[in-house]
Structures are given as structure tokens and as C-alpha cells.
Copies of this chain bind each other. A is one copy, B any other.
Amino acid sequence: MTDLPDEKTAKAPAIPPTMDDVAALAKVSRAVVSRALSASPRPVSADKRDRVLKAAEALGYRPNLLAQSLTTKRVNLVAVVVNHIHDLSDLDLFDRLLGAIQAVGKQVLLLKVGSVDRVEEFLRDGVAHHVDAALVWSDFADAATVRRMFRSDLVVMMNGRHDALSPAVVPDEAVGIGEAVADAAAKGVRRAALVTGRASSLIEQARIASFRVAFAAHAITLEQTLQGDYSYASGHRAASAFLSGPSPDAVFCTSDAMAMGVLDACRPLFPNNRPQRFRLYGFDNLSLTDYDAYPIASIGFDKALFVEHITRLVVEPDVFVPGSPPVSVPTHFFPRATA
């Protein structure tokens, strides 16, 4: 006979056991339970600690993290704010991030804030949990707004909309873009086209500017700029410009997805994936570019390093000195068949 519920089929108890229950069972005070269960070593006699642990186990006790944070002021929650899921342009990045955050004992609250309206809504309705930190990719929120949303001073901005009070981690895209354009120049490219994303994003504006600088440095003429939205479909549409009429020597896209669209629309111009009329360069270095069908030369950064920087800021917020410049992660050119 045992009082232990059958682990295999047990419902969660209608009313979950609290610290009081454990204390009662172990015949100690709540304070002792608190100490015995604490991660950090606290003075408790071995005997009582043992009783507490056993009692907790027997009851299936799990501390209520919410109640806990009410006094500790730390919720062990990190908000990740995105626009769409696809913002995390490569799932690899997101998977790593999630792993890293969990590894430091925190959990990820994923928020999709795909428009300014949504930001306002969150702010107005006040339905956002307080968190230890917020990591922001969404274009639609600036640092001050996010601080208000989550009642947290620790917001790390990855969307370029940081201010003096909040740290930021941003890829140094100029490097990789410079390398890619240099590669093109070395191969004789003189006339280029650029397929861009929404110019509303600060990141995108900077990206375009970097391309212009690099083109100028290598005496490459930017003959046409086509506006897309980062998607495959928009790249596919933009490609019509290169199929008819004189094409440029190289087409640069500010996302791999658009480059994939261009490539598919222009397959006849890429026999065996080798460029014939023009060379093709993407951006993001998606793992998809390792698939045979899309061997697109691209620009990317070290994801592990990127995540490491973010994680460090979450773990040691104090290393950030207000007003200091964003942490930058260098990008590099990854040559592939289409170049």
C-alpha cells in the first residue's frame, strides 16, 4: 500500500501541493523547506533536508515559479519578440537560441508582434508578462516601447531600433557584402541589379547602403533596384526583369529566399547551376543553400557567436554600459555555384 499516485496515469492533483503541505509532511517549518529546496546552499541539517526532499517527492510537489518570482523579482522568463516566425530567417539560429536560454535556466516566451497595431494592443491591454529580458527581432517595436511592454530594462535589440539605454547585437553586414561584391568584381562584374526587402526596416536600409558603397568602391554600376519583401514569391516576380532585355552581370538579393525565387524563375540561364547570363548572390546563408537545387552564394554570420553574445547579455546584464555601441558580429561571404 502506498499513497503515491500512479505516475503513469495520474492527473495533476486538483489542488497542487504547496510548500505548506511539504512542511507539514516533513514536520518542519516552511522556511526549512524553502532552504532545503533552494539551489544555492543554505544552512539546513542533513536530516531535515532529507525529510523535506522525501516529502516533496512523495507529494509530487513542484514549486510555483510565479509565486517565487513575486518575492525574488526574477521570473526566469525571456521574451523573444518576432514579427513572423520566419523572421528567424534560419531555424538553426532560433533552435540554438532556445537551447542557450534554457541552458541558463530560463524559458522562452515567444511573442509574435507583426504590426504596429499589435504593439499598441499589447501596450494598451497590458497583457504581457514581466520578463527578465526581451530579445527583439520584430521591426515594429523600438527599445523604449519594449521596455514598457515587459517592465524590463534588459531588452536586447536585433532589429536595429536600439537606443542608448538598451544593448544591441547586430551583424556587421558591410564586411560580408564587401567580400561578395569584391568576388563579383574580380570575376568581371560591372553592372549589377539589387533585389531588396521592405525598405521600412532599418536593417534593410543599412544593407542597401552597404551594397551601394561596395558597388562604388569596385566601380560597379547599380543598374536597377527591384523591391521585394524577402519572400521566394517576390524574388520570383522580380526575376522577370532579368529574363527579358539586357541583363546585368550580377544580381544581388538581400535574402536567400528571394534569390531562390530568382534562380527558379531563371533556371534556363543557370544550366547545371552555373551562371550564364548573370551571377547570383543571396543573403542569410540559409541551410537551404546546402541543398543541391539552390547552391546560392550567400552572406552570413556565425550563428553560434551571435547567440553567445545575446546569451551573455541575458546572463550578465551589467556588462552593458549604457550608450555603448552595439555588439557586432562579422558576416562573411560564402561562395557557391551561382557566383
Asked if A105 and B127 sit within 8 Å, CB to CB, the answer is: yes
Q: Nearest residue in B to A84 (C-beta to C-beta)?
A: B95
| Sample of 14 more A-B contacts, CB < 8 Å, known A8-B144, A86-B95 | A16-B151, A60-B148, A62-B128, A64-B70, A65-B127, A66-B69, A66-B70, A77-B129, A85-B91, A85-B94, A86-B91, A105-B127, A107-B110, A293-B293
Distance A294 CA – B288 CA, assembled complex (angstroms) = 12
Chain B hits for A34, CB < 8 A: none
* Contact B10–A148 (Cβ < 8 Å): yes
Compute how far the CA of A168 lies from the CA of B211 in the bound complex, rounded to whole angstroms. 50
What residues make up the interface of A, taking CB atoms closer than 8 Å to B? 7-12, 16, 37, 39, 60, 62-67, 69-70, 75-77, 80, 84-86, 91, 94-95, 98-99, 102, 105, 107-112, 125-130, 144, 147-148, 150-153, 163-165, 232, 236, 260, 264-265, 267, 291-294
Complex-state Cα separation, A295 to B105, whole angstroms: 43
Could you say which residues of chain B place their CB within 8 Å of the CB of A107?
Answer: 109-111, 127-129
- Set of chain B residues within 8 Å of A39, measured between Cβ atoms: 125
Given known contacts A66-B130, A293-B264, A102 and B111 CB-to-CB distance under 8 angstroms: yes
B85 touches A98 (CB 8 A): yes
Closest beta carbon of chain B to A81's beta carbon, Å: 11
Q: Are B62 and A291 in contact (CB under 8 A)?
A: no
Q: Is the CB of B291 within 8 A of A232?
A: yes
**A66-B66, A148-B62, A292-B267 as given contacts; A153 in contact with B95, CB under 8 Å:** no
Nearest-neighbour CB distance to chain B for A56, whole angstroms, equals 9
Which of A12, A150, A232: most chain B Cβ within 10 A?
A: A12
Q: B144 near A9 (CB under 8 angstroms)?
A: yes
Task: Please measure, in the bound complex, the distance between the C-alpha atom of A10 and the C-alpha atom of B8, giving whole angstroms.
Answer: 51
CA distance A264 to B98 in the complex (A): 31
A67 to B76, CA, bound (A): 15
8 pairs of A and B residues whose beta carbons are closest in the complex: A264-B292, A293-B293, A85-B95, A66-B66, A12-B147, A110-B110, A62-B126, A108-B110
Instruction: Specify which of B67, B77, B84 is in contact with A70 (CB 8 Å cutoff).
Output: B67
| Interchain CB contact under 8 A, B98 and A144 | no
Chain B residue nearest to A82 (CB atoms) is: B98
Residues of B within 8 A of A66 (CB): 66, 69-70, 75, 129-130
